[in-house]
Structure 1
Amino acid sequence: MRGHGVWMRNATLFTRTTQACLVGVFVLGMTLRNVSVVLNALFALGVTFLPAVLERDFRIELDPRFTVYLGVAVLLHAVGMFRFYDQVWWWDHLTHTLSASIVAVVAYATVWAIDAHSDRLYFPETFVTVFVLAFTLAMGVFWEVLEFAAREAALALNLDPVLILYGLDDTMLDLVFNLAGALVVTLFGTGAVREQGEELAAWLERRRGTS
């Protein structure tokens, strides 16, 4: 319990630091009049408030390690808009791996929560692994389609695209790293993710008790 409390304090401090950095990215983006930087900084900043909203409004306490991990992912993405995606060859691969692993964590915890909550459902471990991998890849494809649609819409309106596309080969490589992020979760992170799933299961039980 003492270690968990230390993690909570450190996660809170890290989140505040991340939010301050994202505000700095936003201000710099406004100064440079870079719409991509501004919008991505705002999106990333909003994501950092999700854990607090879930805990306050839904009484779902996220693992502080996941909160830190989430903050790292969105901060790297926002900072990457300062041409890091163009000039650092591995930056895009890293952010895609981190983002995909977050999607995989959410998928795995949700399936585990449903399995633990319901007496009528049982999901074998193999099924859960395949589902998490497939779901993560599907979300990766959806994101790539969204990037393409957003770019085409911006060009049609004579606006600067907020998201950057580098061609089909890059898209396929992004999906490979999405799969890598999901594999990391299914191979090495299931213990911690199951704990988060149990927290979600407890939330489902509370909702059933109040309905």
Structure 2
Amino acid sequence: MKIGISSSRLVRLMQLAILGITFVGLVTRNVGVFVNGVFAFGITVLPGVLRRDYRLSLDTSLTLWITAAVFLHAIGMLGLYDEVWWWDHLTHLLSATLVAGVGYSTARAFDEHSDAVFFPPRFMFVYVLLFTLASGVLWEVLEFAARGSAHIIGVKPVLIQYGLDDTIVDLIFDAAGAVLVALFGTSVLSETVETLLARFSRESD
């Protein structure tokens, strides 16, 4: 699904904004802003790396989806996570749809590529949900570890973690993102599945 050159320009603008956020973190010596900015920008160039090194061409809409998720996270590190109560929920929901999309696309491509693999729709739904929640739990553990390490070192945490209640709410939004992909992923991610399937076919030849 191609959605035009304007999406490519929007991706470039968000990349520039992320670089600006990274620079702010460097100038202000804010480790959290800087590290998350570097991480976010690295994610935005990943589609190009996959296209160049692995011949996996992601369509424009998916690239925009990825960039928007990390862009919102990078902005949140400037203070929106603390000042806007729903910002963390928004970024978790969007990030969870990306994680679920990766899990769904990979499993669906394996399903179509191999006659030895068959994933019924109900199994796929449960798989996407569990895959996303497992990734969410791993992320929460990383947030907790980052916060603890920051306190020991005496710097601002690279990742923000607000306690057990926040973790539970984060996982609820992770689950919501997984459900959205499980219900509507067939149409949105069909081109991504075909790209992965072509890659698997080339490797098996």
Aligned to 1:18: 14
TM-score of the superposition, structure 1-length normalised? 0.93
Kept after mapping to 2: 8 A contact 1:112/1:194: no
Aligned to 1:185: 181
Match of 1:90 among 86, 93, 97: 86
Give 1:8 deviation, angstroms. 5.2
Kept after mapping to 1: 8 A contact 2:143/2:159: yes
User: Given residue 35 of structure 2, which amino acid in structure 1 is its aligned partner?
Assistant: L
Whole-Å separation in 1 of the counterparts to 2:4 and 2:49: 16
Matched, 1:109 2:105: yes
Match of 1:9 among 5, 11, 26: 5
Q: Deviations over 1:120-162 (max 9, x none)?
A: 1111111111000001001000100111112212222233221
Aligned to 1:198: 194
Matched, 1:126 2:122: yes
Bigger mean CA offset, 23-32 vs 97-106:
23-32
Whole-Å separation in 1 of the counterparts to 2:5 and 2:67: 15
User: Given residue 55 of structure 1, which amino acid in structure 2 is its aligned partner?
Assistant: R
Kept after mapping to 1: 8 A contact 2:30/2:156: no
Kept after mapping to 1: 8 A contact 2:31/2:155: no
User: Given residue 85 of structure 1, which amino acid in structure 2 is its aligned partner?
Assistant: Y
Kept after mapping to 2: 8 A contact 1:116/1:198: no
Whole-Å separation in 1 of the counterparts to 2:164 and 2:184: 30
Q: What are the residue-to-residue correspondences of 1:132-147 with 2, within 5 Å?
A: 132-147=128-143
Between the two proteins, the alignment pairs up a number of residues equal to: 205
Give 1:175 deviation, angstroms. 0.3
Kept after mapping to 2: 8 A contact 1:112/1:198: no
Matched, 1:53 2:57: no
* % identical aligned pairs: 50
Kept after mapping to 1: 8 A contact 2:146/2:157: yes
User: Given residue 173 of structure 1, which amino acid in structure 2 is its aligned partner?
Assistant: V
- Identify unmatched segments of 5+ residues in structure 2: none
Whole-Å separation in 1 of the counterparts to 2:191 and 2:15: 26
Give 1:190 deviation, angstroms. 1.9
Whole-Å separation in 1 of the counterparts to 2:40 and 2:182: 25
Match of 1:42 among 38, 41, 55: 38
Q: Deviations over 1:63-112 (max 9, x none)?
A: 21111011111000000011100110110000000000000000000000
- Identify unmatched segments of 5+ residues in structure 1: none
Q: Aligned with 2:189: secondary structure?
A: helix
Kept after mapping to 2: 8 A contact 1:108/1:128: yes
Kept after mapping to 2: 8 A contact 1:73/1:95: yes
Match of 2:64 among 60, 63, 68: 68
User: Given residue 26 of structure 2, which amino acid in structure 1 is its aligned partner?
Assistant: M
Root-mean-square deviation (CA), in Å? 1.3
Flag as ranges the 4+ runs of structure 1 deviating above 3 A: none
